[in-house]
Structure 1
Amino acid sequence: MMQQGFVPNRVTFLAVVDACDSSASLFTGKKFHANVSCTEYESDAFVLTTFMSMYGKCNDLEMEEGSLPDKVTFRTILCSFTGLSDLSRGKFIHVYVSCCAFDTDVIVGTALFGMYGRCGSLESARELFNNMVKKDLVAWNAMITLYAQNELGGNAVLDLIQQMQIAGVSPDKVTLTSGLSACVSVSLESAQRLFEKVRDRNVLAWNAMLGACEQQGYRVHACHLFVQMLEEGITPDKVTYLILLSLYASIAASVEGYCVHTSIIYFQLDSDGPLVSALLNHRDTKEVLQIWGQMLQEAVIPDEITCIGILDACAAKGTLAVGKFAHARIIKSDYRSDISVATSLFNMYRNCSNLEEALFVFSSIVQHDAISWTAIISASAEQKQSEVVLQLFHQMQIEGVHADSGVYVNVLTACADEAALTEGKAWHSMGMAWKHSNSLI
């Protein structure tokens, strides 16, 4: 095969490994390995693993000098194993790692126990972790994350973080996010105990605790935590407020949301785009106008994220008046050519049943994709504008955009409404061809 100039792919490599499974076939396997070393697959993690497996099956662990990968390659290979089906190959790599004395390296050791954990052998992972002489922050976080992903790992996570601090390693954001999420899933009390044991609790620690409580539904406790955070003199950042706004929006707590808004203004974060968008998610039309007007009065120029947030809020609530006001401000800004802003404008007018303006905005979008074409044709069909549907579909065909089944349904309905029998037969043929081509994929 290779003599004729054909380079094997990964499937071929796997087939060779399966075939070379004894000492008798070792010579063939080595010859194939030598040929592959001259190709682009020489450093491929999958290929290296398959050849290592072959040498292991043939009981030839002493490979030629220079052919063994280094610790970076070992780490890359180990990190590629993510399921139970990879466990046997991972064990082969473990043998080679030990033979090369790389198992004492903290990076390779971390990748090794991580492989066992991801492949369903958490006990083996913990045993390897316990036997590591040197453990850095990355190693501790990796083990904590493995337990955090296990439904019954909350107590183990708490124990690990305690050992971590005894060892003099300070938790970081990853530690707290994984640890607190695991502990709070067991009980709020265990998460609280962990949180209280964290030294020098900064805003990252508070955000991790607030986020864990919000995700698990401990909303009242999250509110008390925020008050405690302020009492201890910790200045919230925008992540803090995004968590709180998501919390209050989920329980429709407008009074608490207003207090958070006041706090956002106090800490001068009221011009942040994502925060403004989050604020608008549980405000009524009057308050949206007030926030928008306040930004303009203070000479705060809304960015494209803020514009999109306002338009999306108007689309969700059907508030056309606010949407038109936002559109007027966008026209005076540099964001009217932004594809994301234009798409949000189009969706706002469409949801507010203003087809004429939706068509106008749609025509201003320089490049249309299948999603935008489907949306405008569907909107026209909903408004019973059959002639517009046919015109849009014709333009869609000119631009070479392929329609899906939903578009063809709307087009055929429009043809029936317009009594366009000949055109309807043509579109029906195209629709059948589309269905046939997709069934072959």
Structure 2
Amino acid sequence: MDLEGIRPNSVTFLWILGACSNLGDVETGRKIHARMVFLGWDTDTVVSTAILGMYSKCEKLGDAKKVFDSLRRKDVVSWTAIITAFSQLGRPRVALELFWEMDLDGVKPNESTFVNILAACTYMDALEDGDKLYKRAISCGYGADVFVGSTAVTMYSRFGNLVEAKAAFDHLREKSTGSWNAIVRAYIQHGHISQAISLYKEMDVHGAEPDTFTHVCLLGACSSLGALEEGERIHARMGDKPDGLAGSAIVAMYAKCGGIEHAMTAFTKMSSSNVVVWNALIAGYVQGEHWQEALDLYHAMNLEGLEADIYTFSSVLGACSGAKDLSEGRAVHARIVSGGLEVVVPLQNGLVNMFAKCGSLTLALEMFRGMASRNTVSWNSMVTAFCQHGEGGGAFELFKEMLLEGAEPHEQTFTSILNFCSHSGLLQDGFGYFFDMVDEFGIAPVDEHYRCVIDLLGRTGHIAAAEKMVEHAFPGSVIAWTSLLAACRTYRNVEIAARATEELMRVRPENPAPLVQLANLCAEAGRWDAVERVKRMMEEHRKARA
């Protein structure tokens, strides 16, 4: 065109700038910008806004702001363009400041302005500003706009205000699939799964067509709720030719709700399957502890010519760990290395865990020491590995090293250490770690921590103290009372054993095993009168259950 001597006009430049934006070609965009300045087109507000948009799409905020500042006349389109740029490129606070500047300039926002400024408020956790701006959008007549309303739904959901999210949704003049998705996702994210499924059913009544996003969200919800029948209905609407994301959601839902056989049936009915769907199926088998079947699927996937990815290997390493198959684990490690994924920290952590679970603490430590960077999971995995192999000294030293490196222990770290202390009878160390966990690291004890401490007290003969802790922390726990009863038998404490048995029979009356254990303990202690009383209790229990 240039060679023909034809002078470009504004439409020409708009098309070319659009092409540069789509390609992310900022260098060509700069040349076009320079040519426009030379020809005097940069004074045109529409063209200048297009230049601004090009720089924004190419993620050059500084250049976009310079163009905006150079505009002689700034209309709502140019203001919205610069607000959008800062909102979408991770500078939401600047976007909000620009909005208030626009206000002072006397320019009225439009629908697009409100969509992007509400999104900015969402990103920066500015609920108060967002709420004011949405109310203003309503007063300007934009509250019923599908894009403004859907953005408001997402914003209120982010801040946990489902009442306002639902009000924004109900205010919409027309509800698109996107707006239905926003409110369905809002309810799912906050654990209101039954309501989300009810909203999905309402979509049919209002003539809205669910899309892949709708179905994937709802299948995840069905998985959480164990709602197999609802999941089957959703699957039926999707057909047997879903894309990779939907296919993996279908397989995952069946694996969690209906057993792995249902997941396999759904998988085999799919006309085609990619690595995402295979990953979901393999993960399902691993979650169900079907270790060998998971490994068989991994090999079948390889035969299909599909390239395993990080998620595949993560699941397969879990299968190797569960099966304690070191040979298979080594082969998977070799595949990870050949695929150039040996530097991926989650896979390195998986390898540490796999080697430890398969009995090779040496290989686990070698992998751990070879890591260029370690996260908290890496340290915790290695501490746990030492504990599981009975190497308490190594675990304690590694724990100190972990703290020196600035890594934070978590619940599982202390569970492993406390469990080791319990089985080794290390009362002082165990209580030291327990109190450090609470006082120094601010970790609130969970059931497993208390159980470890109760077991530690019981194993070291502090039966009365163990009983008090059970009464305080686990008055209705079968596991805690059973641990206490076992400790009573070790130290022949008939009185506390009798109270533990009484509590166990109260919590789980259908199980006579505690009575049998108490009778045996009384016999071992030579308390034959007590043996007779327990036998009568057993007979009464048998008649009551008949």
TM-score, normalization: structure 2? 0.47
1:164 maps onto 2:174 in alignment: yes
Q: Secondary structure of 1:164's partner?
A: coil
5 Å matches for 1:176-187? 176-182=180-186, 186=195
Q: 2:364 aligns with which of 354, 358, 366?
A: 358
- Report if aligned partners of 1:113, 1:129 keep a CA contact under 8 Å in 2: no
Deviation at 1:273, TM superposition (A): 6.3
Q: 1:268 to 1:250 in 2, by over 3 A?
A: closer
1:133-154 deviations in whole A, cap 9, x for unaligned?
Answer: 6986542321332455533357
| SS of residue in 2 equivalent to 1:267 | coil
Quick check: 1:214–1:243 contact (8 Å CA) kept in 2?
A: no
Letter in 1 for 2:280: L
Structure 1 pair 107–242 and aligned structure 2 pair: CA distance change class (3 A) = same
Q: Offset of 1:198 from its aligned partner?
A: 4.6
SS of residue in 2 equivalent to 1:295: helix
1:151 counterpart = 2:155: no
Match for residue 31 of structure 1?
Answer: none
Residue 261 (structure 1) shift: 2.6
1:348 Cα deviation after fit: 1.7
Give the secondary structure class of the aligned counterpart of 2:242: coil
Aligned ranges for residues 12-161 of structure 1 at < 5 Å? 79-80=92-93, 97-110=102-115, 118-119=127-128, 122=131, 125-126=134-135, 128-129=137-138, 131-132=140-141, 138-146=147-155, 148=157, 149-153=160-164, 156=167, 159-160=170-171
Q: Distance in 1 between matches of 2:215 and 2:291?
A: 33
CA shift in 2, pair 1:405/1:141, >3 Å:
closer
The equivalent residue for 2:530 is none
Q: Secondary structure at the match of 2:163?
A: coil
Q: Deviations over 1:289-338 (max 9, x none)?
A: 321231233344423331122113444xx3212x5314214315514733
Which position in structure 1 is the counterpart of 2:212? Answer: 203
Q: Distance in 2 between matches of 1:134 and 1:373?
A: 51
Q: Which amino acid aligns with 2:109?
A: T
Per the alignment, residue 337 of structure 1 pairs with: 342
Is 1:328 aligned to residue 331 of structure 2?
Answer: yes
Say yes or no: does 1:220 pair with 2:219: no
User: Quick check: 1:180–1:191 contact (8 Å CA) kept in 2?
Assistant: yes
Change beyond 3 A, Cα 1:327–1:135:
farther
Do 2:260 and 2:288's aligned partners in 1 also have CA atoms closer than 8 Å? yes
Q: Which moved more, 1:120-129 or 1:336-345?
A: 120-129
Of 278, 290, 301 in structure 1, the residue corresponding to residue 283 of structure 2 is: 278
Give distance in 1, aligned partners of 2:277 and 2:386: 36
**Amino acid paired to 1:220:** E
Answer with 1 or 2: which has the greater Rg: 2
Between the two proteins, the alignment pairs up a number of residues equal to 331
Q: Distance in 2 between matches of 1:283 and 1:386?
A: 28
Unmatched 5+ residue regions in structure 2? Answer: 1-60, 63-72, 188-192, 425-435, 443-546
Give the whole-Å Cα distance in 2 for the aligned partners of 1:404 and 1:351: 23
Distance 1:146 1:376, change over 3 A: closer
Query: Residues 342 and 361 of structure 1 are in contact (CA less than 8 Å); yes or no, is this contact kept in structure 2?
Result: yes
Aligned partner letter, 2:108: D
CA separation of 1:386/1:108 partners in 2, compared to 1, >3 Å: closer, same or farther? closer
Match of 1:118, as an amino acid?
L
The separation in 2 between residues aligned to 1:405 and 1:270, in whole angstroms, is 34
Matches within 5 A, 1:335-414: 335=339, 337-340=342-345, 341-368=347-374, 372-373=378-379, 375-385=381-391, 401=405
Cα 1:291–1:186 shift into 2, 3 Å: closer
Structure 1 gap ranges (5+): 1-42, 45-64, 82-89, 418-431
**Residues 141-173 of structure 1: CA distance to partner in whole angstroms, max 9, x if unpaired?**
213324555333575455345x225xxxx543x
Q: Secondary structure at the match of 1:152?
A: helix
Q: Secondary structure at the match of 1:302?
A: coil
In the other structure, the counterpart of 1:192 is: 201
Mapping of residues 418-437 of structure 1, within 5 Å: none
- Counterpart CA distance in 2 for 1:371 and 1:207 is 29
After superposition, the CA RMSD in angstroms is: 5.1
- Give the residue type in structure 2 aligned to 1:177: N
% identical equivalent positions: 14
What letter is aligned with 2:234?
Answer: L
The CA deviation at 1:284 is: 0.7
In 2: Cα distance, 1:80 partner to 1:130 partner:
23
Cα drift, residue 262 of structure 1: 1.7
Shift of 1:192: 0.8
Tell me how far 1:212 sits from its aligned partner. Answer: 5.0
> Which is bigger in relative contact order (C-alpha 8 A, separation at least 6)?
1
2:304 & 2:141 partners in 1: Cα distance?
58
Secondary structure, aligned partner of 1:235: coil
1:103-130 deviations in whole A, cap 9, x for unaligned?
3333333456675992188587246235
Tell me: CA distance 1:351–1:120, structure 2 relative to 1, closer, same or farther (3 Å).
Answer: farther
Take 2:115 and 2:276, find their aligned partners in 1: how far apart are those partners? 43
8 A contact 1:276–1:306 mirrored in 2: no
| Corresponding position of 1:296 | 302
CA distance in 2, matches of 1:106, 1:346: 53
| Deviation for aligned residue 1:211 | 4.2
1:346 Cα shift?
1.0
- Between the aligned partners of 2:406 and 2:196, the Cα distance in structure 1 is 52
Per-residue deviation, 1:206: 3.3
8 Å CA contact 1:71, 1:102 repeated in 2: no
**Cα distance 1:286–1:71, how it changes in 2: closer, same or farther (>3 A)?**
closer
1:223 alignment partner AA:
E
Change (3 A) 1:151 1:217: farther
